Amino acid sequence: MTAETAKAWLAENAPDLCIVENGQSVATVNEAAHALGVDAARIAKTLALRINDRVIIVVARGDARLDNGRCKAVFGARPRMLQAAETEELTGHPVGGVCPFGLATPLPIFCDVSIRPFATVFPAAGSRT
C-alpha cells in the first residue's frame, strides 16, 4: 500500500480533505514541519504501538512525547513501538509515512488530546514524501 491507499480512503470517507504532496522528505516531524512551513506541533504523528497482545494506532501532536506512565494508566500496560517491518505489514504504510487512513489491517485508533487546540493538523499520508 502507498499514498494511493490513503487517497482512496479519503476520497470515499472524507472527500473534503486533501493530501498535500511535495518532493521533499517528510519522514520526520521536523522535515514535515519545514516542508509545510508549519510549527512541528501541527504535524500529527501516527504511532503504531503494541500493548500486550493488542496493536493500536495513536495520533498525537508532533512535538509531544509518548508518556509511558499515562499510556499504562489508560491502556493497562506499557506500550512498545512496533518494529518497522511489522508496522508496514499491519498498517500498509512505511515508518515515516504511517497514517491513520487506509490501514491494511483494521486497528483501533486513538487521537491524543494534544491535537485538540489545532483547527488543522497534518498527518502523514502513506508516503515519506
Domain boundaries, the chain: 1-8+44-129
CATH class of the domain defined by 1-8+44-129 = alpha beta
Mean pLDDT lowest for which of 13-27, 41-55, 109-123?
A: 13-27
Q: Kindly indicate the confidence band of residue 10, based on its pLDDT and cuts at 50, 70 and 90.
A: confident
Mean pLDDT, the chain, whole residue set: 87
Residue 20 has pLDDT above 70, yes or no: yes
pLDDT in tens, 74-126: 999 999 999 999 999 999 888 888 888 888 999 999 999 999 999 988 887 66
Across 8-32, average pLDDT = 79
Residue 128 pLDDT: 66
Residue 1 has pLDDT above 60, yes or no: no
Residue 72 pLDDT: 93
Q: Rounded to whole angstroms, how far apart are CA atoms 127 and 98?
A: 7
Q: Which positions ≥6 away from 20 have C-beta within 8 Å?
A: 36, 122
Among 72, 46, 82, 80, which Cα is nearest to 61's? 46
Residue 63 pLDDT: 94
Among 63, 68, 72, 18, which Cα is nearest to 42's? 63
Percent composition of the chain: helix, strand, coil (DSSP 3-state, to 5): 30, 20, 50
Residue 51 has pLDDT above 70, yes or no: yes
